[in-house]
Amino acid sequence: MRATARLAMLCTSVTILAVLARGQAIGTAMPGSGGIHPGYARRAPVKVDTLPAGILVRSLTLDARTGKVIEGALGTASVKERANLASRSESANSAGASNVRPNHPTIDGVDSLATFAGAFVGQGGPYVNVDFPFIMVGNDPRLGGTTYYPVNIVQVSVQLLNANGGVFKTVPFAPFEMRTFESPNFERLHYRSGPDIQYADAVHRAEFYKVMKSDWHTVLSPQAVNKTTIQVPYSVKVQLNDGSIVNARSYFTDKAADGSTVVFMLDLLFNAIFDDEVVNEINVGNFTTDGINTAMLPNTYLFSLNVKNPNTRGDCCVAGYHTYFYGPGTFPEPRWVVQYASWISPGIFGGGFEDVTALSHETSEIFADPFVDNFTAPWQFPNQPANSNLCQGNLENGDPLETSSKPTTRIEVKEADGFHYVYHPQNIAMYQWFEMGANSSAVDGVFSFPDATALTTSAIPCPQ
């Protein structure tokens, strides 16, 4: 999904111009089905000074081609100048630790989190012997040491409005707060790639197991930086590419097996709200350039506009995405890596998509592709017909598992204080899977982790 405008939700009806040519999010329902299938979206980086501020929502209009606000904006959003905007976190998290690597910018001209560069060589298909460079989160595995990254979490509750502007229902994130922070994303558990480590670190170490130093770790330090509530109008006006305007439902609700309210929200509207929230959190210092900045929502999934019948839900459901926001015109250029992920209650989706599946998916993809520009040879999604053109060409290492028969893995967390929960983080494709070779240099020769049986061979080239 593409970036849309910064928006403050203040009334029950706004006008949004749909960019109907956007690419379908892999993993959602097939076009026109209106079914409920979990998936994820890929968003382009968001340029902050293209986001309008002070929107007059009753007269808002977005350009069909660019998605920019052409009516209803009082000004242009900007990121405030802040001293030491990215408050480096390693000193607070590394007391007593040895060989701590700094979480400082490592790309010339960019102010962002610490990354390392590398490359792999294509081993199959039409891209044999082609180099595919990448930039990943962490410090160089060959140097070893531990790098700490703050995970700045905004807990977002959703207030749904009636057609008359009154409150229909407020869906809180609070019931899922503890279970999110106690999840394998942040708890230290034992994996084949190492003992007493977090999930994304375990995946990272599995890929570089044969070249890393044994003390190499990429550690997440979660912190709740804000609790906020977003308002969602009952409907929005959407201007189509042909200039016509339709009135579309902006949300629908359902119930999960545990009784939790499930919210299906129009993706165009959500993107606008998300962008506004990100800029607000940057300006108050909650989102930092050295962190993984996260908006967690309660059972909130995105659907596409159903052009033929805008009062019904379109293709569904996106449960998360990641991208980065950047502030042009300054040197070094600030970049804020951000993600949205939904807590997933049981019974909404099949395939074990529950609890922190989306959060584990997006966090692992941030590790592998923080600036959404690590390209690979075009690969075909697993378990597709031989001539299928359901393909991608990037290092989004969670996506191949969306069509796998084993997309998630069960991990039990037990605490001394009595906390006990079984989580379902997503299995992740090793970068060796994208090489398209016969063998993998990852830990134990696997192509997926932690469940090696989820992907037993490397990627198949996309049919020409």
pLDDT in tens, 327-355: 988 899 999 999 999 999 999 998 899 99
The continuous run of DSSP H or E covering 272 comes out as helix 267-283
Establish if 305 belongs to a structural domain: yes
CA distance 19 to 9: 20
Which residues are CB-neighbours of 291 under 8 A, at least 6 positions away?
Answer: 86, 89, 113, 149, 150, 151, 152, 336, 337
Establish if 41 belongs to a structural domain: yes
Contact of 265 with 231, CB cutoff 8 Å: no
pLDDT value of position 243: 84
**Antiparallel, parallel or unpaired: β 46-47 and 320-326:** parallel
Q: How many structural domains is the chain composed of?
A: 1
* Each residue's pLDDT tens digit, 36-79: 677 787 788 888 876 656 544 444 443 323 445 445 454 545 66
Measuring CA to CA, which residue among 152, 228, 145 is closest to residue 186? 152
pLDDT value of position 27: 34
Contact of 444 with 452, CB cutoff 8 Å: yes
Establish if 355 belongs to a structural domain: yes
- What six digits make up the tokens of 103? 């979480």
Establish if 6 belongs to a structural domain: no
Establish if 220 belongs to a structural domain: yes
Establish if 63 belongs to a structural domain: yes
Establish if 42 belongs to a structural domain: yes
In this prediction, the residues of the chain whose per-residue pLDDT falls under 50 are: 1-34, 55-67, 69-70, 72, 74, 76, 81-92, 94-96
Q: Which domain holds residue 50?
A: 15-79+129-365
Q: Dihedral angle at the C-alpha atoms of 203, 207, 212, 213, nearest 10 degrees?
A: 30
Cα 432–Cα 119–Cα 409 angle in degrees, nearest 5: 30
